[in-house]
Structure 1
């Protein structure tokens, strides 16, 4: 596994629809790799999987980005990606962790947001207005007022934050003031 702070090169990538059958298979295989902390969503649905492409030497290169710097799940994600590709017979391969541009909740699919809600995690509200993963954009981290997340259990918007950090650093702990149930909220980045 390699780590880089440069963004993915632009140009031809292995996005679905390519004529390279191995790349198509790799995308399909990696669609099934779950996030180790939230197993109901795949790394692709969360936007962690950024690219699958052929390196100059013909090696299959998988590009992943952590949901935040220092995410402890990244080594497990890289292992899971390598294992899935090995089982599918897609060798040789290399996993590259790319830190810039930084991951944003804007990269989550609508399906991922619904799966989070069904799993009991309130999906991020609003968006960061960031560009697509393959484009660079300067992001300014300025606190802004966001609407309170709705309770994923009863749907009430009458909620309160209990702690800035929940079960993982990318989530905050909230409580519904109507049904009184605590829940994680996936913070928007």
Structure 2
């Protein structure tokens, strides 16, 4: 039997469509209560421009599954962290050429103090990489180049 969480988990992230909102850890909960789908999500950061699209895509997924009434709640605490990205999500990112973030652990401020640790190239796994720009096509990514295979790639910033 397909659960409400299963339905919501099919929604792709609009900025990185190789992963779902469940893969990213944005999807917190989804249940059906009295015919109404109730979904809880957490943005990757408070100004994430993709949230309106994510809400619309969630509502569409539930309408397509036969639930016309959808209540979507956005919660900000606890704040989202890249530690919530699933192992499957990390594999999907790497397989698509996007370097996943490393763990932040219990020291949530560590990446801010030390800067992100350099990622490995998602294509050849080389650690010989250089940052091209701290800002990538989305606020959550930066641009890098592998010095071994010479390919550019995005890296999801740890936070």
Q: Distance in 1 between matches of 2:116 and 2:39?
A: 34
Q: How much is the aligned-residue C-alpha RMSD, in angstroms?
A: 2.0
Alignment TM-score, normalising by the size of structure 2: 0.90
**How many residues of Structure 1 are paired with residues of Structure 2 in the alignment?**
158
SS of the equivalent of 2:88 reads helix
Give the deviation of 1:60 after TM superposition.
2.6
CA contact (8 A) 2:134 2:142 kept: yes
Give the deviation of 1:58 after TM superposition.
6.7
CA contact (8 A) 1:128 1:188 kept: no
Q: Tell me which residue corresponds to 1:119.
A: 96
2:19 to 41, 47, 60: 41
Q: Tell me which residue corresponds to 1:144.
A: 114
**Structure 1: runs of 5 or more not aligned:** 1-20, 131-138
Q: Tell me which residue corresponds to 1:128.
A: 105
Alignment TM-score, normalising by the size of structure 1: 0.76
- Residue 177 (structure 1) aligned with residue 143 (structure 2): no
Give the deviation of 1:128 after TM superposition.
3.4
SS of the equivalent of 1:69 reads coil
Q: Distance in 2 between matches of 1:96 and 1:54?
A: 14
CA contact (8 A) 1:105 1:128 kept: no
CA contact (8 A) 1:29 1:84 kept: yes
Give the deviation of 1:147 after TM superposition.
3.2
Q: Tell me which residue corresponds to 2:133.
A: 163
* CA separation of 1:87 and 1:54: change in aligned 2, threshold 3 A: closer
